[in-house]
A and B are shown apart, each in its own frame.
Chain A
Amino acid sequence: NAGVTQTPKFQVLKTGQSMTLQCAQDMNHNSMYWYRQDPGMGLRLIYYSASEGTTDKGEVPNGYNVSRLNKREFSLRLESAAPSQTSVYFCASSRGLAGASSTDTQYFGPGTRLTVL
């Protein structure tokens, strides 16, 4: 039981390049989330998905797109990377449906460390 997995673990991009961060969970969770974490800023929600085929913006969605491919997988795409997107990106999942009353907790993947030059 792997929990939440993310690929790649590390990535260096040049300004303007594109890339997709992959995330998968094997816990049959309904909701999935993408966060970024910058020093002193805490975790900020980029996008989330309550179920397959639905996605919603979080606090800092600009410059990102997401795709909930199926119940297991939720990818984050940077179309034209900028130095301001240098960060650690975490994917997370929870059992409950985003938007529904819940006492559920979240489980995190190991993170992707992205540097944009």
Chain B
Amino acid sequence: RKEVEQDPGPFNVPEGATVAFNCTYSNSASQSFFWYRQDCRKEPKLLMSVYSSGNEDGRFTAQLNRASQYISLLIRDSKLSDSATYLCVVNNFNKFYFGSGTKLNVKP
């Protein structure tokens, strides 16, 4: 079983839509959780950390459910510039495990 699993998509949404991504992780001892964004042929970049209490950064909301070992990312009011691949990342004693990514296409 993979450490981190994500729906690969693609999610094709119109501008202004709300879209949600989910991922699950297998190791209940994992310590910290993140969403990264990766643009085509570029390096992954940190989008936001994910906390159990839920956290928000502008149009982005992340949520962690430790009991279900489930992480989510909600994007409101999608922009064309949000088109990218979103990677779910789990930190387990400073070894980082990446999902294969969910591709988002935001269309005019």
Contacts and interface: CB of A to CB of B under 8 A. Distances in A.
Interface of A: 31, 33, 40-43, 45, 48, 50, 58, 88, 90, 92, 94, 96-111, 113
A77 to B, nearest CB: 21
Among A31, A40, A48, A104, residue most surrounded by chain B Cβ atoms (within 10 Å) = A104
Contact of A102 (B8, B93, B99): B93
Interface residues of B, number: 22
Interface stretch (B14-22, B40-48, B65-73, B76-84): B40-48
B100 A102 contact: no
B25 interface: no
Contacts of A96: 94
Nearest to B33: A103
Given A31-B94, A42-B101, A99-B94, 8 more contacts: A43-B44, A43-B87, A90-B43, A94-B96, A100-B93, A103-B49, A104-B91, A106-B96
B43 A43 contact: no
A110 B45 CA distance: 10
Contacts of B41: 88, 111, 113
9 contacts: A42-B101, A48-B95, A98-B94, A102-B93, A103-B31, A103-B49, A104-B94, A105-B34, A110-B43
